[in-house]
Structure 1
């Protein structure tokens, strides 16, 4: 299952000096602010169960690019070894998909280990100028919905006039920067902007009052998904509150080690939803939901927010998780004609399956739609390569993982593909296009909404 070659670009290249020793980037490796826990590191017993589900180990077969190999490198750094370019390269190569957490029989908290280590790396290491510029672009754009909204107009015009297609076919952007080429190619086809009102009343008897995260990329590029989410919740008896002043949840920042930035986003979001007075906060983006459920750890050392973060995290639910707990009251209609079955494949977003442990709920919701024949994707636990901004920072391995995922999906013979994360939607859609096999691909909320309203999907 290994790749034949490793022509990859990583945020911190595996630089070697003239002596053959990997360049030292920080010594000591870690500072005193929340270093990786020795107790968590010692939980790893090197059993190897993680190897079969680790995407980078499956690509390259290198021990240092496996979870247990990365833990060894982190432990060495924690015990006094310097932080080297090679170590940072192996850490940057990790997608943070957390499949190893699911497969580990010893309960190793690799998610905690990785996030605290990445925060150390971002504080301790000065990255190459080109990489700093790329990361600056990403994090000055994606966590800010207003800036994404300003980008929508020119991008939509470029799509409608064919200018964007011409630029892609020319290959000019790719010759300047493979990462920027990925950014432009991932953009979904844009129609008119769709937004949700601050308050959507419940249909019929009100069963709950819920807050709704509208997100950043989700809000500006997948507004139809948010609208479908609000309609589904309302149809199931929920009054939906979507505060207009809400901002980024901090997921992209936290997952890439920008800890201080992620904490600031988290505090503002907690403030916003506390003011709204909702009982539950529903999230329709897997990566956002996993981070919001983890605010309890992210802000554990903040005396002003520790208790509030714990209470907030306890109120966060993924859309499928919440609907399954609530139980359906709205009637479902067949997706096709009466008596016609539709074969649907469900793609598990990593931060829903592995980070949040939400596996059965979305499947049960899909099976509740009349005429749905749900099929499983082979090797479904392996990441598609999206992983937040991983596919931008590391386009070559992300592309290979995307192509493998597309091939697995096509083997199912599904007529329709469903997932619960915008990043997966963009990544897999692009991979299916490369495979020359267009396949309708929608969010779980979109499918449920179509079934409840009795309208065609999409």
Structure 2
């Protein structure tokens, strides 16, 4: 007889699987179901496949394809009236798949490249210089026009087109003193892609926190939080990153850990589950997770003390569209706080994006591993954003910034697109954005 799909190490919980009553409320919010209308590419369909594996069915290529096709956006978690913990089930399933599934040589090579590059800031920094030079000289644009990379690999072509325009590298000092009365001492995650490709966002984050009375500690030795690894089932790797980050921030002696990347924040809040079986780190992970907060959460908790100014050149009103990053809206349930902060800026009116709960297609490295559906979702998101007529677009996740910027560019509808921290920093400093 064929081996069962799952081994004995943390298989999908039968108890959690039984919470699903197949009501179908998840269907309209699932990106892949909206694309293909295929039951096995819906949350309840994937849960059926998990249940089959738990009951002893062998692992098949079809099973793996349906689980791989999930973006892990967790819109179904928000929509589910039964409280199904699909996030936990998917994490457990993907860890099994990574241990037990036989992938094609091409897929293995691509995943090896991704996970030997993106979680390592020093390697991204080494790539940053040549990439910036290629952008400034126009060489990258010429390569794109030839279509050679696309002919070799659609996935590698996506990697090169997603890169944002790079300026001088911006860094955050290890310690930023509070402006005025100190109200809190907070640690700050600088991230991997965020640190090397969106350093301006980190600088803005530290300035905003300092302006609101926070002493900001950004340990230089911090590494990856493990989000990309955890979300794709690389459990051991994700745990190693998590342990190191816990050690780093414990040594820093901070009261809270502030995160400005939605995917990173959701994983760090989940260390309590990731390290639940680790006798040395289980309790420490619980304490750590409880201290993690998104930037918008900590700012709302503290309440504003720094003055706000308009973000337009002539002080006129501006219509702003806020894009909810999935791992902020669905995984962390942080929805009102960013909007509250943005509404505190003089002259800002927020317009909601149609079908806001549907993922833009970024989803960590999903847009590299699955470029076709990711592109279609990105184009849908760009069209919905364009329909709002907004002059400024704001989000809280670097992946969304890259994905949607490319989609807007393809549509010929570029809109200034910035991180929440950048808008707040501009408002506090009196520097216009539009």
Same fold (TM over 0.5): yes
Q: 2:70 aligns with which of 60, 80, 94?
A: 94
Which stretch of structure 1 is more off in the superposition, 66-75 or 26-35?
26-35
Identify the residue that residue 249 of structure 2 maps to in structure 1.
Answer: 273
* Other structure's SS at 1:83 match: coil
Q: 1:41 aligns with which of 9, 12, 17?
A: 17
How far 1:30 sits from its partner (Å)? 0.6
Mapped pair 1:324 → 2:300: yes
How far 1:315 sits from its partner (Å)? 0.0
Mapped pair 1:367 → 2:343: yes
The answer (yes or no) to whether the contact 1:446–1:457 under 8 Å persists in 2 is: no
* Other structure's SS at 1:49 match: coil
Identify the residue that residue 361 of structure 2 maps to in structure 1.
Answer: 385
How far 1:27 sits from its partner (Å)? 2.2
The answer (yes or no) to whether the contact 2:312–2:433 under 8 Å persists in 1 is: no
Q: Residues 12-411 of structure 1 correspond to what in structure 2 (within 5 A)?
A: 27-337=3-313, 340-411=316-387
* Other structure's SS at 2:26 match: helix
Mapped pair 1:452 → 2:412: no
Report how many aligned residue pairs link the two structures. Answer: 434
Q: Distance in 2 between matches of 1:357 and 1:155?
A: 36
Q: Distance in 1 between matches of 2:298 and 2:48?
A: 38
Deviations 1:44-97 (A, max 9, x none): 000000001000000000000000000001100110111100010000000000
Deviations 1:377-401 (A, max 9, x none): 0000000000000000000000000
Mapped pair 1:439 → 2:418: no
* Other structure's SS at 2:215 match: strand
Q: Distance in 1 between matches of 2:152 and 2:426?
A: 42
Identify the residue that residue 8 of structure 1 maps to in structure 2.
Answer: none
The answer (yes or no) to whether the contact 2:175–2:217 under 8 Å persists in 1 is: yes
Q: Distance in 1 between matches of 2:433 and 2:229?
A: 33
Q: Distance in 2 between matches of 1:212 and 1:339?
A: 32
Identify the residue that residue 398 of structure 2 maps to in structure 1.
Answer: 422
How far 1:456 sits from its partner (Å)? 2.0
Deviations 1:285-341 (A, max 9, x none): 000000000000000000000000000000000000110111000000011256511
Aligned residues: CA RMSD: 0.9
Deviations 1:237-266 (A, max 9, x none): 000000000000000000000000000000
Identify the residue that residue 4 of structure 1 maps to in structure 2.
Answer: none
The answer (yes or no) to whether the contact 2:310–2:432 under 8 Å persists in 1 is: no
Q: Distance in 1 between matches of 2:73 and 2:320?
A: 24
Q: Distance in 2 between matches of 1:186 and 1:422?
A: 11
The answer (yes or no) to whether the contact 1:145–1:217 under 8 Å persists in 2 is: yes
Q: Distance in 2 between matches of 1:437 and 1:154?
A: 29
Q: Which runs of 4+ in 1 moved over 2 A?
A: none
The answer (yes or no) to whether the contact 1:142–1:217 under 8 Å persists in 2 is: yes
The answer (yes or no) to whether the contact 2:313–2:433 under 8 Å persists in 1 is: no
How far 1:232 sits from its partner (Å)? 0.1
* Other structure's SS at 1:204 match: coil
How far 1:346 sits from its partner (Å)? 0.1
Q: Distance in 2 between matches of 1:337 and 1:352?
A: 30
Gaps of 5+ in 2: none
The answer (yes or no) to whether the contact 1:281–1:316 under 8 Å persists in 2 is: yes
The answer (yes or no) to whether the contact 1:28–1:82 under 8 Å persists in 2 is: yes
The answer (yes or no) to whether the contact 2:41–2:66 under 8 Å persists in 1 is: yes
Q: Distance in 2 between matches of 1:438 and 1:311?
A: 43
* Other structure's SS at 2:327 match: helix
Q: 1:255 to 1:392 in 2, by over 3 A?
A: same
